[in-house]
Amino acid sequence: MRLQRFLSEGINDKGIFKACFMSGSSASGKSYVITKITSGSIQPRIVNTDKMTEYYMQFKPSFDWQKHSSEIKHLTKKQLTNYLNSMLPLWIDGTSSDTSAVLRRKGILQSLGYDTAMIFIDTPVETAIERNRARGREVDREFLERSYKKTQQSKKYYASEFRTFTEILNGEGELTDKVVLGAYKKMNSFFGSDVKNPIGKDLIENMVQKGYKYLIDLEKYDIKYLQKLVDSWYRK
C-alpha cells in the first residue's frame, strides 16, 4: 500500500526531471510569459533569486539588500536543493547573458537526469523601457541596451545547444493569443513527455523498484552532494 501511494504521488508524476531556461534581456517579460504558458496540470517551480527578494520585501518594509543578501542567498540555495532532491519540474528564470553560467547549470541538471529546454524572449529595448515606465519602474536605458545586445549575441548559440528551443517575439502587439497558444502547447508537450535523458530514465526505474521518493534515498546521492552542485550553480 505504501509503495502504491508513493507511485501515485511521486516518481510517476508528469514533469519530473524537466527544466526550461527562460532567456531574454532584462525587462523582456520572461516572468509574464511564464504565467501565460504554464500548464494547469504541471506547475514547474521558478528558480530566481528575485523571487526570494520579493518575498522578503513583502514582510520587511525596511528591507536592505546589503543586510539581508546573505540570508536570501542561503534560502535560495536551500530551496533549489530541495527542488532537485524532489526532481521537480523547473523554470530557470534569468537573462542568460552569461553563456558559461547557463551551460554550467544545464550540465548540472543533465547530470542529475533532467531534460532541458529553452524559451528565448525577444523584446526590443524601446518596448521594454515603455512597459517598465507604465509600471512606474525606474529604467536604465544603457543597462537595458547592454543586456539586449548580450542576449542577442547568445541566441544562435543557445538554439544549437538546446534540442527544444523556442523563440517568442514580445514586441508591441507580437505576443498574440496564437503565439501564446503555440508556446503553451510546446511546453506542455515538453513537461508532459517521458524523460529522455538516460540518467533520468535509469533513476526512475531504480527508484520505482526500490520505492524511493527522493534522490538522497539513493546511495549515489546525499544532501551534501546536492548542496555542492547548488554552490556550483551560483558560482560567479
**Domain edges within the chain:** 2-233
Quote the cell numbers at residue 123: 523584446
Q: pLDDT tens, 23-52?
A: 988 888 888 899 888 877 788 999 987 666
How confident is the model at residue 141, as a pLDDT? 83
Most confident of 69-83, 95-109, 110-124, 138-152: 110-124
Quote the cell numbers at residue 71: 540570508
Q: pLDDT tens, 177-207?
A: 999 999 999 999 999 999 999 999 999 999 9
The DSSP result for 73-131, as a single string, is HHHHHHHHHHHHHTT--EEEES----HHHHHHHHHHHHHTT-EEEEEEEE--HHHHHHH
CA triple 63-66-70, angle to 5 deg: 100
Q: pLDDT tens, 66-91?
A: 676 788 888 889 999 999 999 999 99
Q: pLDDT tens, 213-229?
A: 999 999 889 999 999 99
* Average pLDDT taken over every residue of the chain: 86
- CATH number listed for the domain at residues 2-233: 3.40.50.300
Q: Which residue has the cell 527544466?
A: 19
